[in-house]
Structure 1
C-alpha cells in the first residue's frame, strides 16, 4: 500500500471519532417516485482497475484525487466539482469563471505538493472521488481501503495520450453525461490521429525537452511524460532510469553538448530567455540556428506537468512548431477550439499571441 494512503487512513480513523459526516457514504437503497414506484438510487460501475464500485445513479458532486483528474474532469463536468486538487495557476484568472477559482483545495492522493485533505473532502460530501491517470501498483488496494474507511466511492480511470477518447467515454458513463463525453472523446481521437499521421510522414528532428531553472533536466525517452515528445521527434534524452516526475532526469552540460540537439524545447520557467547568451549553449546547433522554443503556459504547461489532457493541445502545437509544412492547420483556431471545449473559455487573438510569443506557433 502506498505510504501516503497509509497516513491518510490513519487520519480517517481519527476523524471518525470526531466527525459525523459519514452519512454521505453510498449504500444500496431505493426511493419512491411521485407515482409510488420504486427506483434504485445506486448502480455498479467497473473502473479501470476492474473494481466494481457502487456509486449513486445520479452523481451531482465530484471530488478529484489529483491534478490530472482535475484537468480531465473540469472539461466534462466543472459544475459538479466540489474542490480542486491543486490551486489553479495564476494565469487561470484570465480564462476561467471566478466561481471555479474559488473551489476549496482538497489536496491530492499521490505525489505532488501535499496530501489529500480528508477533513475538507468529507465536509464537501462528494458522491464520488475520481482518480485519473496512470495506475499505480497498489491502486486497487489503496482505493478499496479509502472507500471502506470514508464511505465514499473511489474510482480510477486510466488516461493515456493515445486513448483519451476511452477515458472520456468511461467518465461519460460514470457521470451519465454521454453527449458531453462524446464531444470531448471525438476531439481527442481526431487530434491524436491527425498528429500521429504527421509524425509518421516526416523525418523526425533530433530534439531535447529541457526543464529546470538551470536547464539541466531532461524529459527522458520512454517516460510517461515523454509520450508526445517520443511520438513527434527523435528524443535524444536516453537514460538508464527515466524519471516518473515532471521535472525529468538531471543531467550535466557535458551530456547535453554530447547529445548535440538540432532543436530544443524549454519548459516554462527554464532558461529559454537567457540561453542565447550562454557560452555553452551557443555551441549547440539548436541554439545557434534559432531552433529553440518555449512551451506555452496558460492555464497549464501545454506539454504536461501534470501530463494530463492538455497534452492533446500540446501535441498539436509541437507538430506545428517542428513541422509547419506538414501541420497545415491554423494553430489559433486549433487553440481556440480546445479552450472552448476543455476550459469553457472564448480565447481571444490577443491571448493566443501572448501564449505563443516564444514558440513561433502563431500563423
Structure 2
C-alpha cells in the first residue's frame, strides 16, 4: 500500500463537483458506500477518536466534540477553546458510547469514521445514516492512507490547501524514513516490544493498528510471531523468551516497573537502558488513537532505532509538528515533558544492536502503486462522473 498515491487530484475533483452542481456531491467511501456529502459542512461528528483528531487538525471549529474524554495533561497541549469541547461518545468499536440518538441531539452535517474497513463497519454506518439522515462516511484508518484522508477531508471541510499542506508533511516524513532504511543493514534492525496498559502485558500482533508506526520503521515486532490480528495479552515469561533489544512502554506505570522492579532485570533492553516511554499528549505517538497523531512517531522511532543515521534535531521536529498540526507552540517545559523519557538516556547503548531476522522480513514501506481507474486512492472519493464541458480527469 502506498503513501504516494495521487490523492490531490481526488480532493480537487471533489471541489469541482461541488462547485459545478451547487449541491451535495456523491462520494464513494472506503467500504464502497455511496454517500451524498453536503456542499457546505459546518458541523462534523467524529465516530471515533482518530477521526476526531483528523477533523481537529484540519478544521477544529467544525468538530462538535471529542469521542473520548481528554485528561488534564492532554488538555494542556491543546488551545483552551478546543480542549474544552464536549465529549460526545464514540459510535464505533466493541463498546460504543454513543448511538443514533446522540447524533440527533448534535445535529451534525456529516459523520466521519476512520477505522479498519469491514462489512460490519459499513453496516453500522448504513444503520446510523438511515436512522438519522446524516451522511456517514468511512475512511481507511491505516497509516498508509493518512495523506489521502487529509486531502479528501480537507476538501470536504473547505480547507483543501491545509489538507494538502499536512499531507505533504506526512509524505515527506515517510520518504525520510524510507531513505534511512535503504542505508540500514537488515541485520541491524532490532527486536522491539511495545507494552500497552498499566502492566505492559498487552501488545499488538502482526499488522495491527497499534503496531503500524513501529512496523513502518522496519524493525521486528517480537509479538508478530503470535500471528496477525489486533491486540493480545502476553506473559512475562514470553517477553523474557523474546528478550527484545528495545522496549517501549505506553504508560508510565510499566515504564517505572521496568526501571525499578528486579523481576525485569534479566532483559537485554533493561540491562542496556533501552527502555522508553511513548509520549501521549495530547495524543499518542504510536497509537491511542490510531490516527494522524502517529506521524510524529516516525522521526522519533527513527532516532531510537537507527541513531547512527538520524542526524536531525528531534526536539525541533516535535516543535514543528505540534505547531503545524495541533496549532500549539510548545514551551521548553512542555517539550522536555514530552521527550525526556522518550529519548536516549545517559549510559544507554546507542549503537544499533545486530540481531538475526529469525526468518522474518521487515515490513515494507509504502511504495508507488497505480490507482484504479474511476476510483480515487483508498476507494474513497467522488463518483466517476464527467465534469461539465470536459472529460473526467484521470486518477
Relative to the length of structure 1, the TM-score reads 0.83
CA distance in 1, matches of 2:202, 2:32: 36
Alpha-carbon deviation of 1:151?
Answer: 1.0
CA distance in 2, matches of 1:175, 1:304: 25
CA distance in 1, matches of 2:157, 2:31: 18
Q: 1:300 aligns with which of 269, 283, 286?
A: 283
Alpha-carbon deviation of 1:317?
Answer: 0.9
* Consecutive unaligned residues in structure 2, runs of 5 or more: 1-19, 346-395
Q: Which has the higher contact order (CA 8 A, sep 6+)?
A: 2
Q: Does 1:204 align with 2:189?
A: yes
Aligned to 1:306, what secondary structure does the other structure show? coil
Q: 2:208 aligns with which of 208, 223, 227?
A: 223
**Equivalent position of 1:94 in the other structure:** 76
Aligned to 2:114, what secondary structure does the other structure show? strand
Alpha-carbon deviation of 1:257?
Answer: 0.9
- Tell me if structure 2 keeps the 8 A contact 1:268–1:301: no
* Consecutive unaligned residues in structure 1, runs of 5 or more: 1-37
CA distance in 2, matches of 1:117, 1:144: 13
Q: Compared with structure 1, are the counterparts of its residues 213 and 82 closer, same or farther at alpha carbon in structure 2 (3 Å cutoff)?
A: closer
Q: 1:161 aligns with which of 143, 154, 160?
A: 143
Q: Compared with structure 1, are the counterparts of its residues 189 and 326 closer, same or farther at alpha carbon in structure 2 (3 Å cutoff)?
A: same
Q: Does 1:321 align with 2:304?
A: yes
Q: Compared with structure 1, are the counterparts of its residues 45 and 241 closer, same or farther at alpha carbon in structure 2 (3 Å cutoff)?
A: same
CA distance in 2, matches of 1:78, 1:112: 27
- Tell me if structure 1 keeps the 8 A contact 2:304–2:343: yes
Alpha-carbon deviation of 1:243?
Answer: 4.5
**Equivalent position of 2:111 in the other structure:** 129
Alpha-carbon deviation of 1:113?
Answer: 5.6
Q: Compared with structure 1, are the counterparts of its residues 39 and 240 closer, same or farther at alpha carbon in structure 2 (3 Å cutoff)?
A: closer
**Equivalent position of 2:250 in the other structure:** 267
- Tell me if structure 1 keeps the 8 A contact 2:198–2:251: no
Q: Compared with structure 1, are the counterparts of its residues 241 and 214 closer, same or farther at alpha carbon in structure 2 (3 Å cutoff)?
A: same
Q: 1:63 aligns with which of 20, 31, 45?
A: 45
Give the superposed CA RMSD.
2.2
